[in-house]
Amino acid sequence: MPAPRTDVPRTGGERELLRAYLEFHRETLASKTAGLDDDDLRQRPAPPSGLSLLGLVRHMAEVERAWFRRVLSAEDVPLVWSSSGDFQEAFAADEASWAEAVEAWQTEISHARRIEAAAASLDVTGVDRRSGEEYSLRRILLHLIQECARHNGHADVLRERIDGATGV
């Protein structure tokens, strides 16, 4: 049976709904990895794609860090797994461990929650230093929801190919 996930309210304010949907999708990705060992999580079971569940989790740690800490909070922190700024390096999980990946991901989620909660409104902005473009918290939350949802679709396929589990 899948772990319980955030029950997204049927009504409510914009920020409450965005926050709930993001939590739901974070929890969904976590449920896709539940009960698997490092070898299972490193598998790339859908050739020619090189995606693995472990790589997806590492990637989402980078995404959380980049948008909340680097853009919205303007923290001068490097990416988690790349000193060159290449987001794709997070997907290279052949030698990675679940413990390392989930710790990094949960750490970045904690930072993201703190930064989001401290923002006065959804209109608070930050600047992407790579592009120089300004992004609102609203846009960042929507992007994270989209990013998680898209990768949850990938995770559905990967998990089913690993052990036949569906609906997790």
Query: pLDDT, tens digit, for every residue of 19-36?
Result: 999 999 999 999 999 999
Q: What is the pLDDT of residue 86?
A: 87
Q: What is the pLDDT of residue 87?
A: 84
Cα separation, 71 vs 140, whole angstroms: 9
- Per DSSP (E only), the strands in 86-143 are 125-127, 134-136
Angle, CA 124 vertex, CA 10 and CA 78 arms, to 5°: 105
Query: pLDDT, tens digit, for every residue of 99-119?
Result: 999 999 999 999 999 999 999
Question: Taking the domains of the chain in order of start, what are their residue ranges?
Answer: 14-163
Average pLDDT over residues 44-61: 96
Question: Tokens representing 103?
Answer: 């710790």
Instruction: Tell me the residue type at 4.
Output: P
Burial of 136 (0-12, 13-18, 19+ CB in 10 A): middle
**CATH number of 14-163, picked from 3.40.50.300, 1.10.3720.10, 1.20.120.450, 3.90.550.10:** 1.20.120.450
